[in-house]
Structure 1
Amino acid sequence: MRASSTSLLLWSIGSAVLGLTKSCPIADTSIIAHTGTPVGTEEVVDGVTLYVSKPGCKAPKVGVVYLTDVFGIQLAENKLLADSFARAGYLTVAPDLFNGTPAPSDLNDPTFNTTAFLAAHGPDVADPLIAKAIAYLRAAGVDKVAATGYCYGGRYAFRSVAEGKGADAAFAAHPSLLEDGEILTIAGPASVAAAETDSLMPPARRAQIEALLANTTQPYQVSLYSGTQHGFGVRANVSDPEQKFGKESAFFQAVRWFEAWV
């Protein structure tokens, strides 16, 4: 009974989202895909590999820059989620933030040095790549750009909505390494989807993020999903009803946020 109610709710939300995308009507109502073959293409633009997923309309007015977790555009779930944003009506571009060498699927691999990996892919490296992805979207003719980020990419969604960075609104699912100053300097609306269990954003840090957002002049939202862990926005176990609901609801949270503020 619970699964049936969940499905009905998500269908209703999905239908509402499609109805809101008036400038880019979409016939396909199967918005979010957890499995299957990605439908986007990879392009190399100004030295950066971009995963590009296009909506079913000819002239979308809003673009989404999709900022991945440490598993990069090489992870099928990241490509599928980018495709889902395209089905919602957005020209979606995900830059390869790790130049073809993302983190391994098993972060506990003894040969992988997480500290060194993150140090090698800090803002000095990531920001210029994201700027090129946003420039691609602008050159494609979109009027507005929304940034959506997951884990590692969540921090950069916030950075992308700072003054002069090019994005008009941000959504971040379970962001990691997000600094106070990066929250306080946002110049556009920001939404956060938080996991119940997240060592990188525990309850105390979540409360701090809420307080910092309240000290900005921008609209903000923080939503908490029970039964979820860090990474649920992309890599949820969709055989678990709570995790599936959390992943799908976080996706619709992002889309509704963009529809409201971009």
Structure 2
Amino acid sequence: MASSLPGPCCYQGVKHAGVAKGSLSKIGDIEIYTVHPETPSDKGVLILTDIIGHRFINVQLIADQFAANGYTAMIPDLFHGDPVPLNRPGEFDMQAWRNGEYHPTGTAPLPENIDPIIDSCITELRTTLDCKKIGAVGYCFGAKYVVRHLQPERGEVDAGFLAHPSHVTEDELRGINGPLAIAAAETDRIFPAEKRHQSESILQETGKPYQISLFSGVAHGFAVRGDIQERAVRFAKETAFIQCLQWFGEYL
């Protein structure tokens, strides 16, 4: 793999303060959070979350920041109502969750269940919301699906951005058909230096535009769940967001 499977660090972190400006609605039976820029835009951002999910205030505030910068932003529920609570107390078996054993209907958070959600969101952005260009942002778990939907056979998003990715396979990364940027943490057992260097080699092979930024003094999850009272974390989080804006400004 170009990045390893999710682990406990994927649901640990700090809740941020703020009031979301967007709204919740549904595409079919999938709940989404959507926020619009003040001036109508033909560019959209699809945010694919970590396992804390679309109702997490931290990611909603990030969506609001994209809207403030001129993008229609959408966050879908990737987990059919079964995200992992932040800092989940008690015993928790990540593999059991991945197998759908915690979900009331046994629906597992696997590609066969998640890809159709993303397809529906992209269709909604392209048609109802009239987005001519779409950038996809993936945090941790969501990174895999940014890469999957940047594939030639799909061609659904125009550019991608990943922060501290998890569970991306080498073949998925090798198959991208568009520009991809990555923000990485210095301390990250899911995306350590070995995986980062391996990803760099694969991205060179693709011939597509790429960028990898490494932030010192921060750990996995910094771009969404980091403690922004810590100066290094706040700087890395804000700079990673600016990195994404610049990337989309160039390629969307």
- TM norm. shorter chain > 0.5: yes
Whether 2:118 is the aligned partner of 1:130: answer: yes
Q: CA deviation at 1:108?
A: 6.2
**Counterpart-to-counterpart distance in 1, 2:96 and 2:114:** 15
**Counterpart-to-counterpart distance in 1, 2:70 and 2:150:** 21
**Counterpart-to-counterpart distance in 2, 1:146 and 1:109:** 37
Q: How many residues align?
A: 227
**TM-score in terms of structure 1 length:** 0.84
What are the Cα deviations for residues 127-168 of structure 1, in whole angstroms up to 9, with x where unaligned?
111111111100111111100010001111111211224101
Give the counterpart letter for 1:188 in structure 2: G
Match of 1:88 in 2: 69
Q: Structure 2: where are the runs of 5+ without partners?
A: 1-15, 100-107
Give the counterpart letter for 2:72 in structure 1: L
Match of 2:200 in 1: 210
The structure with more helix, counted as a fraction of residues = 1
Give the counterpart letter for 2:97 in structure 1: F
**Counterpart-to-counterpart distance in 2, 1:71 and 1:242:** 23
What are the Cα deviations for residues 67-92 of structure 1, in whole angstroms up to 9, with x where unaligned?
00000012110111111111111000
**Counterpart-to-counterpart distance in 2, 1:136 and 1:85:** 18
Q: Percent identity?
A: 38
**Counterpart-to-counterpart distance in 2, 1:239 and 1:153:** 25
Whether 2:18 is the aligned partner of 1:36: answer: yes
What are the Cα deviations for residues 92-150 of structure 1, in whole angstroms up to 9, with x where unaligned?
0110011222012125630x221122232011111111111111100111111100010
Checking the alignment, whether the CA contact within 8 Å between 1:35 and 1:80 is kept in structure 2 is: no
Q: 2:34 aligns with which of 37, 42, 52?
A: 52
Checking the alignment, whether the CA contact within 8 Å between 1:131 and 1:165 is kept in structure 2 is: no
Give the counterpart letter for 1:41 in structure 2: S
What are the Cα deviations for residues 2-49 of structure 1, in whole angstroms up to 9, with x where unaligned?
xxxxxxxxxxxxxxxxxxxxxxxxxxxxxxxx5310010011112211
Higher-RCO chain (CA-CA 8 Å, sequence separation at least 6): 2
Match of 2:135 in 1: 146
Give the counterpart letter for 1:116 in structure 2: A
The secondary structure found in structure 2 opposite 1:215 is: helix
Alignment of 1:243-258 (within 5 A): 243-258=233-248
Give the counterpart letter for 1:46 in structure 2: G
Checking the alignment, whether the CA contact within 8 Å between 1:192 and 1:221 is kept in structure 2 is: yes
Bigger drift between 100-109 and 69-78 goes to 100-109
Checking the alignment, whether the CA contact within 8 Å between 2:136 and 2:160 is kept in structure 1 is: yes
Checking the alignment, whether the CA contact within 8 Å between 1:74 and 1:102 is kept in structure 2 is: no
**Counterpart-to-counterpart distance in 1, 2:120 and 2:244:** 22
Match of 1:11 in 2: none
Whether 2:170 is the aligned partner of 1:188: answer: no
**Counterpart-to-counterpart distance in 2, 1:230 and 1:109:** 21
Match of 1:162 in 2: 151
